[in-house]
Amino acid sequence: MAYLECSGICKSFGHLRAVDGADLAVERGEFIGLLGPSGSGKTTLLRIVAGFEQPDSGTIHLDGRNVTGLSPQKRDMGMVFQSYALFPNMTAYQNVAFGLQVRRQGRSQIKGRVDELLELVGLADKTSHLPHQLSGGEQQRVALARALAPQPRVLLLDEPLSALDARIRLSLRQEIRRIQRALQITTLYVTHDQEEALAMSDRVVVFHAGRIEQFGRPEEIYDRPVNAFVAGFVGTTNLLQAEVLSSSGACRLDGQILDLPKVPSGLRDGDQLELRVRPEHIRLSPQPGSGRLQAVVEDIMFLGGRLSLRASIGRQVLWVEMPRGPGEVAPSPGDAVDLYLPHEVLVAHAAHPDSTVPAGSA
């Protein structure tokens, strides 16, 4: 059994299924990003893990022990909420010390621990500041120190950076990860920022309408999304319509023939097919193991170090993104170009959302 294990968690509010059969197995010390659109059930699942909410069915195990019926205080978990939720009339020091006083620890022991934590989050010089005398980022550091003070076995963070501006987010993100690694604390981190989830996590959970759509390493989620929802939610993806010409792998796409390594099983000649490919995986020069399509450049945009290109293939549109090498001549609008779609990153599935098979898989 994994260190933290959620099995078959369901939770409804009235007729609404906020969490619909979530299974999640997390290893000790892992950093897990919970990613999903607003209302998909991320906070609800986190609150169930913390014990603030009881599931209708399902169990939570921590280190082999069933904690499902335990109160939050008895679970050894620390939580940081989206809103800072610091005690407004207590200093940074008192906020961090609070959980330790409740646990009736000795004065000098508390002082040692609080000083150590405020040092860890970089606030050693602001221990006597009240929350309103701290910036948003500093308040969130206090909230983090407060959650960590009782040495929880699991750290739960619910969009801890969402109220902060982009630059502070970036540095605090690295800070949280550094602290998490130093303490080797098992962490669930909720965000609806895909870049944040991919950048920070050992593994990412993609949530949608109360269900876990995919759970895997960031590269897996990005390179091999299991379905159209994950592909569309994480990064950008091109979707092309095609028709199966032969089961050996040829398909027709707006009058052109494109070779796939194989056609998804169950599809016959004449069936409709959808192809997905990331803009940055498409190449303008011949590649071994790829399919070729002729296209016309519609528009081109310079994005500093990268070029973004909109191309048309008959009535279909394809986005291409590529690094811009020094002295390279970029195509211009109106140019005819050949686009190469590498087989290993081209995903083909029936024009029906449920059956998805990577085109490159055996």
Ligand X SMILES: Nc1ncnc2c1ncn2[C@@H]1O[C@H](COP(=O)(O)OP(=O)(O)OP(=O)(O)O)[C@@H](O)[C@H]1O
> Which positions lie near ligand X, rule CB under 6 A?
13, 16, 18, 36, 38-44, 192
285 touches, from ligand X, Mg ion, none (C-beta below 5 to 8 Å by class): none
Least distance (Å) from Mg ion to the CB of residue 149?
Answer: 24
Choose from Mg ion, ligand X, none: what does 38 bind? Cβ within 5-8 Å by kind.
ligand X
Question: Shortest approach of ligand X to residue 54 CB, angstroms?
Answer: 12
**Interaction between residue 191 and Mg ion (CB under 5 A):** no
Q: Please state the closest distance from residue 190 (CB atom) to ligand X, in A.
A: 7
Shorter beta-carbon distance to ligand X: residue 190 or 345 = 190
Residue 227 partner contact from Mg ion, ligand X, none using kind-dependent CB cut-offs of 5 to 8 Å? none
**DSSP 3-state percent helix, strand, coil across the chain (nearest 5):** 25, 35, 40
Residue position matching structure tokens 């205080």: 73
Residues contacting 185, CB < 8 A, separation 6+: 29, 148, 152, 153, 154, 155
What residue ranges in the chain does DSSP mark as E strands? 4-13, 16-26, 31-35, 57-62, 65-66, 77-80, 154-158, 186-191, 203-208, 211-216, 238-244, 250-253, 256-259, 272-277, 290-303, 306-313, 316-323, 336-342, 347-350, 356-358
Residue 131 touches which of Mg ion, ligand X, none (Cβ within 5-8 Å per kind):
none
Locate the DSSP E strands across 132-173.
Answer: 154-158
User: Which of Mg ion, ligand X, none is residue 33 near (CB under 5 to 8 Å by kind)?
Assistant: none
Residue 272: φ, ψ to 5°: -85, 150
* Residue number closest to Mg ion, CB atom: 43
Residues recorded for the chain: 362
Q: How far is the CB of 112 from ligand X (least distance, A)?
A: 36
Tokens 């590498």 identify what position? 342
How near is the Cβ of 106 to ligand X at its closest, in Å? 39
Is 43 among the residues that bind Mg ion (CB under 5 A)? Answer: yes
* Assigned token pair, 78: 């620390």
* By the rule CB under 5 A, 40 interacts with Mg ion: no
Residue position matching structure tokens 């997905």: 276
Partner interacting with residue 18 (select from Mg ion, ligand X, none; CB below 5-8 Å by kind): ligand X
Binding site for Mg ion (CB under 5 A): 43
